[in-house]
Structure 1
Amino acid sequence: MANAETNALVGLRKLLPKELFYNTDMDMLGAECEEIRIRAGRNVRFVLRGGEIAGSAVATPKLCRDVLEGLSEHSAPAIENELKEGFFTARGGCRVGVCGQMYTKNGLCERLWQISGFNIRIARQIKGCADKIIREVYSCGNAGGLLVLSIPGAGKTTLLRDTVRQLSDGGLSRLRLMWASGRTLWICVRRQRV
């Protein structure tokens, strides 16, 4: 049975080098896979909800280059600005953290090169996880804002995506999303006046 999480993993497999998944039971990974960790000189690791397993592939410099080429869909220069932040978003909404050597100028990252590691967080959809927030938005009107804070990997983006989905399905006349610094999401809601 396919679900959004499995579909995200299937989409990633099309972008990533095949050797990354050699001798890995994809049925076992299925919907349980939350992250794929790739570190130069080490075995690929698959982080599951209940633990972690090692793949048989060892991340060589060539494999790391191939991973970047695949995830950027052979357009690494197109994501160069995102790479300066240390991460980018691959097709399907999967977040990719990147490690490598950094060239800095005036304390700011100018370029990331010799990439040696990736942390790929598998995107997943959990419909209904924003139900309580939606009730609050509708009961408060435009009285306030919403600040979402949590540790990495706790579901902030999943929560915000479900919030946006529900608000846009709820008959609001205007829904505006603004993404700033690659890290902050504001949702501005305007109700249609009758």
Structure 2
Amino acid sequence: MKEIIRLFPDHFQLLLKKNVNWETVQEIRLRVQHKIEVLDSTKNAFLSEGCLSAADLSYVLNQISQFSLYRFKDQLKDGFITIEGGHRVGLAGKVNTVNDKVDTVKHVSFMNIRVARSTRGHVEPLLPYLYHDGGWASTMIIGPPHSGKTTLLRELAQMIGSNRIYPASKVAVVDERSEIAASLQGIPQLDVGPRTDVMDACPKAEGMMMMIRSMSPEVIVVDEIGGIEDADAVREAAYTGVEVICSIHGDSFESARNRPSTNSLITEKVFDRYIVLGRLTDKNPGATMVLDETGQVIAQMKRRRSDGVARSSNNPVRHYMGGF
């Protein structure tokens, strides 16, 4: 993970090389006057040496922005910057507002580096339940944070957009938060399949309609459906004949049904399948359930502890864009 390590002052680079398991790490959290926190899917730990000073965080921020935060002003409004390798750096501190809207984040005192990886092998057990009659089922993935929702979306885009098991389809990924494809300057840093087109950093509702009009997808993949506008766009896409695969936060089918934004989608049976991901803990990897359009369980399988961690022995194809 040289793209991440090189962001730090020299005295922290050695600490990160020696004390971080780069095969499993999901997040590295930085806070002024505190030690570095490292998280995987089930646990967290603080590195034993060295509190971060304001100067240390300033150093990291300058490396991320190449000493020019202004050119990342639009990204800063969303609270994060995507760097080489597709890793996303979340920022928090003092916010400047203009007309009651966020203009930029300044005096950055907190960072969250989310580690991006291409993955393989998480979705194969689910495929027989998602592919039938020569096509893919519109599917909602339900799970709590760090349960592997985005990993599944990425691997489904890979699978649907390739000929690995089933005939390839045209896939459109609407990646509002740059988490599925982890694009940098418009080019995916993670493998999302050879027949996949990506609309990066675009609001979901608008992006879905843009992709339908311009790219004629057969399947749309979108992360974290939120409010009514997102739900309406999913419904509109489904009515055009495009299959939609999306995710939402929740811990059960009932939690999704109780949300005003998704209740109508479930009632109208917009989705053919639901995948419910159990919460991962250090002692219990939980289970994955597949439900039909009525919410009845049709399959249940035990999860691996790695299912919430985006990791792989295969190195992702990465494009060096320069500027970092």
Q: Give the TM-score normalised by structure 2.
A: 0.48
Q: Matches of residues 151-190 of structure 1 in structure 2 within 5 Å?
A: 151-170=144-163, 171-180=167-176, 182=201, 189-190=217-218
Work out the CA distance in 1 between the residues paired with 2:100 and 2:152: 34
Counterpart amino acid of residue 177 in structure 1: V
* 1:86-118, Cα deviation, whole Å (9 max, x unpaired): 223222122222111001123321111010011
Q: What residue in structure 1 maps to residue 23 of structure 2?
A: 31
> Residues 32 and 53 of structure 2 are in contact (CA less than 8 Å); yes or no, is this contact kept in structure 1?
yes
Gap change, CA 1:28 and 1:15, over 3 Å in 2? closer
Max Rg structure: 2
Q: What residue in structure 2 maps to residue 71 of structure 1?
A: 64
Q: What residue in structure 2 maps to residue 18 of structure 1?
A: 10
Work out the CA distance in 1 between the residues paired with 2:171 and 2:69: 32
Superposed displacement of residue 28, structure 1: 5.4
Work out the CA distance in 2 between the residues paired with 1:84 and 1:117: 15
* Structure 2, gaps ≥5 residues long: 178-200, 220-324
Superposed displacement of residue 136, structure 1: 3.9
The ranges of structure 1 where at least 4 consecutive aligned residues each deviate by more than 4 angstroms after the TM superposition are 140-144, 181-189
Greater displacement, 127-136 / 96-105:
127-136
Q: What residue in structure 1 maps to residue 223 of structure 2?
A: none
Q: Give the TM-score normalised by structure 1.
A: 0.75
> Residues 24 and 56 of structure 1 are in contact (CA less than 8 Å); yes or no, is this contact kept in structure 2?
no
**SS of equivalent residue, structure 1 residue 128:** coil
* Structure 1, gaps ≥5 residues long: 1-8
1:109 aligns with 2:137: no
Work out the CA distance in 2 between the residues paired with 1:92 and 1:138: 31
Q: What residue in structure 1 maps to residue 36 of structure 2?
A: 44
Q: What residue in structure 2 maps to residue 83 of structure 1?
A: 76
**SS of equivalent residue, structure 2 residue 11:** helix
> Residues 20 and 44 of structure 1 are in contact (CA less than 8 Å); yes or no, is this contact kept in structure 2?
no
Q: What residue in structure 2 maps to residue 57 of structure 1?
A: 50
Superposed displacement of residue 131, structure 1: 2.3
Counterpart amino acid of residue 190 in structure 1: E
Q: What residue in structure 2 maps to residue 147 of structure 1?
A: 140
Work out the CA distance in 2 between the residues paired with 1:140 and 1:57: 58
Q: Which has the higher contact order (CA 8 A, sep 6+)?
A: 2
Q: What residue in structure 1 maps to residue 88 of structure 2?
A: 95
Work out the CA distance in 2 between the residues paired with 1:66 and 1:57: 15
* 1:19-58, Cα deviation, whole Å (9 max, x unpaired): 3334455265232322211101112222245541324232
Aligned length: 183
